[in-house]
Amino acid sequence: MAKITLNKNNFFNNLDIIARFTKTKDKIALVLKDNAYGHGLLEMAGMAQEYGVKKAVVQHCEEAKRIERFFDYILVLAEIPHAKSEKIRYTINDLHSIAKFPHATLVELKVDTGMHRNGIAMRELKEAFAKIKEQGLVLEGVFTHHRSADELSSEWFWQTDNFKKVKQEAKELAEEFGFGKLRFHSSNSAALFRNTDFSEDMARVGIAAYGCMELPHAISVEGFKPVLSLYAQKISSRKLKKGDCVGYGGTYEAHQDCVVGNFDFGYGDGFLRICSNNYKTPHARQLVGRISMDNSSFLCEDEEILIFDDALQVAKVAQTISYEVLTSLKPYIKREII
C-alpha cells in the first residue's frame, strides 16, 4: 500500500515561523479543511494541539465535530448548523442565509471586500447586523479573504483599505446593536507574511503550515519545510526489450533493454494523471507510460520509492498548485507521523 509520512519536526518548524509573524501561538488558526490539505485531519489536529495551537478552521460541520476535542475555537467556513455549539463558530456568507441559523448560534460574518466569492457586500453591513440581532445570534467576529495576497500587485492594498473601513463600521455597529468586542481577521498564509506588523486577532494559516507555499521573491519567507512525503510499494516488475511499450496506449517505448517496476499509486489514489510520461522522483526515478487508476510505472528496481517529498515539485510538472496535489491524496492512504 502507498504510504504517507508526516514530518512533525518540519511542521513545528513551520509553526515557529508563523508564530514569529502572529507574535503569539494563540493567534494561529490552523486551516484543516479538505482532510488537512490531504495530510490527514486527525493526525494534523493532534500534532497542532501538541504544539499549542488552540484554533482551527474547517469547511464543514462534520470536520469540526471530529476535531472538537483538540481545540478551544473552531471556525466552520461554509455550512449552516442544525444546533448551536460551545466551541464551533459558523460563518454567515450571505445576507439571506441569516434566517436559517438556529437561535443563539455563535457566528462570524464574512464580508466581501473584493474577491466576489463569498460574504455580504460592504454596503450590507448594517442590514446584516440588524438581521443577526433579530435572529438572536451571537456575533463574535467579522472577517474577509484576499483574492491576490500571493501576487505582487496593487490589489492587496485596496482590499486592505476596504477591510479597514469594514472594521471601523463594524465596531460602531457592534456598540449600536449591543454585541461584544468583535474578532477581526483577514489573513491567509500569503497575507500574513505581507504584514510587517500583524495586529489582527488571528490569522487563518493553511499552506504555510504544510510547508508548500510559493510566493514571488519580493514577498517570500524562507525556511518552510514540506511536512508530507508519499511512498509507493512495488507490485511487480519486468524486463523490457528495446522497442517494448509500457501501459495504456503504449505511450512509452523503451530505448534500450531495461527493468520497469510497477507501483501502487495511481490517479485513483491522487497521482495527477497529467504527470504521465513526464515526472522524475526526488531520487531521479523516471515515470514511464500513462498513470493508471491504481498503478504507475518507473524505470527502477526498487521495492519502495519516494514519489515526492515536496508537493510543489509535482505541481510544477502538472502545471497546478501544491494545494491541488495535496488535496487529491485519498483519505484511505495510510498516514504515519515521523
Ligand X SMILES: *Cc1c(COP(=O)(O)O)cnc(C)c1O
Please state the closest distance from residue 5 (CB atom) to ligand X, in A. Answer: 21
Please state the closest distance from residue 189 (CB atom) to ligand X, in A. Answer: 3
Q: Would you call 55 a catalytic residue per the annotation?
A: no
Q: Which amino acid makes up residue 310?
A: D
What span, in angstroms and rounded, lies between the C-alpha atoms of 311 and 150? 18
How many other C-beta atoms lie within 10 A of the C-beta of residue 131?
A: 19
Query: In which residue are the cell numbers 499552506 written?
Result: 207
Q: Write out the residues near ligand X by the rule CB under 6 A.
A: 31, 33, 77, 145, 188-190, 204-208
Give the angle 181-184-185 at the CA atoms, nearest 5°. 160
Please state the closest distance from residue 185 (CB atom) to ligand X, in A. Answer: 9
Nearer of residues 247 and 270 to ligand X, judged by Cβ: 270
Please state the closest distance from residue 43 (CB atom) to ligand X, in A. Answer: 18
Nearer of residues 8 and 147 to ligand X, judged by Cβ: 147
Nearer of residues 10 and 188 to ligand X, judged by Cβ: 188
Tell me which H or E stretch contains 314: helix 311-318
**Choice among 164, 239, 242, 248 that is catalytic:** 248
Residue nearest to ligand X (CB): 206
If DSSP codes are grouped into helix, strand and coil, which group holds residue 309?
coil
Q: Would you call 33 a catalytic residue per the annotation?
A: yes
Please state the closest distance from residue 27 (CB atom) to ligand X, in A. Answer: 14
With both helix axes pointing from N to C terminus, report the angle between 8-22 and 41-51 in degrees, rounded to the nearest 10. 60
What span, in angstroms and rounded, lies between the C-alpha atoms of 223 and 311? 16
**Choice among 27, 33, 55, 167 that is catalytic:** 33
Nearer of residues 32 and 258 to ligand X, judged by Cβ: 32
**Taking the mean position of all CA atoms in its chain, how far away is CA 164?**
26
Q: Which amino acid makes up residue 9?
A: N
Burial, 265: exposed, middle or buried (Cβ in 10 Å; 0-12, 13-18, 19+)? buried
Nearer of residues 131 and 204 to ligand X, judged by Cβ: 204
What positions carry a catalytic annotation?
Answer: 33, 248
